[in-house]
Structure 1
Amino acid sequence: MTHSPTVGPTRVPSGLPSGRSTGARLRAYLRLAKAGMIDYYLSLVVVWSLLPGQPLSGPVSATLAALLLGQMCLVAAAVAFDDVTGYRDGSDATNYGPDAPARKLARKPLLAGTLHESDAVRFARGALVAGALCWATAVFTAPSRPAWAVLGLVAAAVVIPQYSWGLRLSYRGFQEVFLAAVGWAFVLPSYGLLTGRITGLAVVEAFLFGLGPLLFGVYSNTHDIAGDRAVRRPTAACVLSSRGNTVFVGALCLLETAVIVAAAPLGVAPWWFPLVLLPVTVTRAVQFTVGMVRGDVLRARLTGIRAHRILVVALVTANLLGAGTA
C-alpha cells in the first residue's frame, strides 16, 4: 500500500475492454477489495471462541454477522482507496514492476487496466457507507452495549479508511501501528458488544492477533523500500538502516513470543497456553530466517500469513480447551 504524489502514475495502454462480462467486472472488484485476504476477518472466530459456551444463536449470531460484513466493507474501502493512491503516485507501478515476479499484477486492477480509477473511488465510497451501516446494525443487535466498545467500534470505522486517504495516516509514520491496531479494534470492541466486559485473556489475544498482520506487513515494506521512499512514505523499513530494520522486525517477533510466554505466569492464561502456541513461535523463527537472514522477503511475507492463520487456530484451540477444563 502506497501513497503521495511525487512519482507520476502509470496508465494502462488502452483503458478497459468495452466488452467485459459481468463476471470479469465482478472479479476485478473482488481483487480491488482484496477479498482473498481473509486474515483480519478471522478475528471474529477468535472472539467467538472466547465467549462462554461459544453460543451461535439469536443476538450473538446476528451481531457476529453484522460485525463481519462491516469489517469486510471497511477493509474493502481502505484497500480500494489505497490502490487509487498507489496508482496516482506511481508507487504501485514501482512495487509491482518486473522486479517483483512473486506478485501478480492482476491483484492491482487499476494497474492491470481492468477497472478505471473512478470505478475504484465509487466502490470505496460505497463500501465505506455499507460498512458503517453494518456496524450500526451490530450495535443495535448486540447483547451488550458498553460505552467503551461502542466508541471503539465508531473510532475504528472512522480511522480505518484513513490509511492512505483523508488523513493519510501511513504518510504520517503510523503505518506499522495502523496494521496492528486494526486487528486490536476487530477483537476487543466485538468481544465487548457480545459479553459486556473485558478480560485479561481477551486483551492478550487481541494484542497477539493484531501483531499478525503487522508481522507480514513489515516484510512487504522491506520489499517496497524503493517505491515507498519515492513517494515519501515513512515506513520503518524506509527510515531505518538495513540492520536497523532487521532489529526492528526481530524485536516484534520477540515481543510476540514474550507475550505468549508471560500470559501464563501472569495468571491471564493457563500454564499450557505457550505450548499450544508453540507452532506460532516456530513458524515465526522460520519467517525471520527466510526474510531477514536469507533476504527472501516476499517468501517470508507468505510465511507470515501462514503464521497468522496458525495463530488463529492455536488461539481458538486454547480457548476451547480452556472452556472444556474450566
Structure 2
Amino acid sequence: MTTRAEAPPSAPRELVESKLRSYARLGKLDVYDYYPSIAVALSAALAQEGRAVSAALPAAALFLLGSVFVIMSGTAFDDLTGYRDGSDTTNYGPDDPLRDKRRKPLVAGALTEREALGFAWLTAAAGAALWTAAVASAPHRSVWAVLVTVLLFAASVQYSYGLKISYHGFQEAFLCGLGVGLVLAPYGLATGSFSGFVLVQAVLFGFGPLMCGVCSNTNDIPGDRSVRRPTAACLLSPRGNAVFVGALAAAEFLLVAGASATGIAPWWFVLLMLPVTALRVRQYVIGFRGGDILRARRLGFRAHRVCFALLIAANLILAVEVAG
C-alpha cells in the first residue's frame, strides 16, 4: 500500500500524490513514445529477407525493459538538475498556469532531492543490467550494435547530469539521436546486419521526439535562458527559431522523398508517409504561425505515433512481399 507524500508547507494540498505516482511522474512513464522503437526494429528485421525474429524476442524484451529504466533514469536526472538550477521552477511557476506542476514532483514538493537522486541511480543500474543481459542473450553481437547500446546508456544518464550534454548545445541532437539508437541497436542485435532503409526509419523515428522537444524548448525559453541552457530556441530570435523548426520539418519530408527516389526505400514509401507530412505542416502552423506552442507539442506526439505505426506497416508490407 502506498502512503501519502509528505509535502513542505508551501506545497498546495492538491499537488500531493502517492509516492508511487510521484516516482512514475519523475520517470515520465506516461510518455512512452521512445519505447515503440523495439517494434520498428523487429518489424524491420522481419522485412529483411523474411528473417525470422523469434530467436531475438527474449533479447528484445530485455532491451525494451532496459530502455524503460534507462529513460526513467535520464528524465529523473533531468528533473533533479532543473529543480536545482531553478529552470523547472520558472517554467512551471505561476506565470504558466497551463502546465501541470504535478509532472514535476520536485517542484510540486511530492519528492525530495534525495529521493529523486536515489531513484535516478537505481533505475540507471537496472537499465544497465537489463541491457547487458540483452546483449548477452542476443542472436548477434555486432560490434557496432554493442557500441551504440553503450553510447545510448552513457548519453542518457548524462543528458542533464554529469557531463550535462543538454547544457552544452547538444539537446536537439540528443533527442533525435536517442530515437535513432533505440531502433538501430536492437535491430543490429537481432540481425547482425545493417540496412540503409532501417537507418532512414531510425532517423524518422528520432525526428518524432525532436519535433516535440523543439516545441517544449520554445515554451521554456525563460527558464532555459535563466540557467544558460543553449537550446536553439534560446540562441535564435523568434523568427530564426521558427525557420529552424520549419527546416527540420522540411528535412524530415526530404529524407522520406529522397529514400524513395534513390531506391533506399520502396517507391511507395513517400506516399505511405504523407499523413505524417500533413500533421507536421499543421503542427508548424499551429505552433509557429498561430502561437499555440503547447497545442503544437501535443500534435507532435500524435504525428510521431502515426509515424511509427506507418513505419511498422511498411516493414510488414515488405515482409509479406518477401514471403510471397
TM superposition score category, shorter chain reference: over 0.9
**Partner residue of 1:139 out of 127, 131, 135:** 135
Cα distance in 2 for residues equivalent to 1:317 and 1:224: 35
Could you tell me whether the CA contact under 8 Å between 2:45 and 2:53 is conserved in 1? no
Could you tell me whether the CA contact under 8 Å between 1:16 and 1:115 is conserved in 2? no
**Partner residue of 2:28 out of 34, 38, 62:** 34
Root-mean-square deviation (CA, aligned residues, Å) is 1.7
Q: 1:154 corresponds to which letter in structure 2?
A: V
**Partner residue of 1:80 out of 73, 76, 84:** 76
* SS of the residue 2:262 aligns to: coil
Q: 1:105 corresponds to which letter in structure 2?
A: K
Alignment gaps of 5+ in structure 1: 1-10
1:97, CA displacement in angstroms?
1.7
Residue by residue over 1:303-322, the C-alpha shift from the partner in whole angstroms, topping out at 9 and shown as x without a partner, is: 00110001001111111112
Alignment gaps of 5+ in structure 2: 1-6
- What's the counterpart of residue 4 of structure 2? none
Could you tell me whether the CA contact under 8 Å between 2:35 and 2:64 is conserved in 1? yes
- What's the counterpart of residue 250 of structure 1? 246
Q: 1:110 corresponds to which letter in structure 2?
A: L
* SS of the residue 1:245 aligns to: helix
* SS of the residue 1:51 aligns to: helix
- What's the counterpart of residue 276 of structure 1? 272
- What's the counterpart of residue 259 of structure 1? 255
- What's the counterpart of residue 118 of structure 1? 114
Q: 2:189 corresponds to which letter in structure 1?
A: L
**Partner residue of 2:9 out of 6, 13, 37:** 13
1:101, CA displacement in angstroms?
3.0
Cα distance in 1 for residues equivalent to 2:180 and 2:96: 31
Could you tell me whether the CA contact under 8 Å between 2:11 and 2:108 is conserved in 1? no
Pairing of 1:41-120 with structure 2 (within 5 A)? 41-52=35-46, 53=50, 55=52, 57=54, 59-120=55-116
**Runs of 4+ with >3 A deviation:** 11-17, 53-57
1:262, CA displacement in angstroms?
1.0
1:54, CA displacement in angstroms?
7.2
Residue by residue over 1:98-128, the C-alpha shift from the partner in whole angstroms, topping out at 9 and shown as x without a partner, is: 2323321111111111111100000000011
1:323, CA displacement in angstroms?
1.4
Q: 2:96 corresponds to which letter in structure 1?
A: A
Q: 1:278 corresponds to which letter in structure 2?
A: L
Identity of aligned residues (%): 50
Could you tell me whether the CA contact under 8 Å between 1:96 and 1:105 is conserved in 2? yes
1:152, CA displacement in angstroms?
1.1
Residue by residue over 1:234-254, the C-alpha shift from the partner in whole angstroms, topping out at 9 and shown as x without a partner, is: 000000011110010000000
- What's the counterpart of residue 230 of structure 2? 234
Residue by residue over 1:219-245, the C-alpha shift from the partner in whole angstroms, topping out at 9 and shown as x without a partner, is: 000011011000100000000011110
- What's the counterpart of residue 4 of structure 1? none
**Partner residue of 1:182 out of 172, 178, 181:** 178
Structure 2 length as normaliser, TM-score? 0.93
CA distance 1:289–1:120, shift in 2 (3 Å) = same
Residue by residue over 1:123-156, the C-alpha shift from the partner in whole angstroms, topping out at 9 and shown as x without a partner, is: 0000111100000000011010111111111111
Which piece of structure 1 moves more, 316-325 or 221-230?
316-325
Residue by residue over 1:23-56, the C-alpha shift from the partner in whole angstroms, topping out at 9 and shown as x without a partner, is: 9111111000000110111111111111124755
Structure 1 length as normaliser, TM-score? 0.92
Cα distance in 2 for residues equivalent to 1:72 and 1:102: 28
- What's the counterpart of residue 203 of structure 1? 199
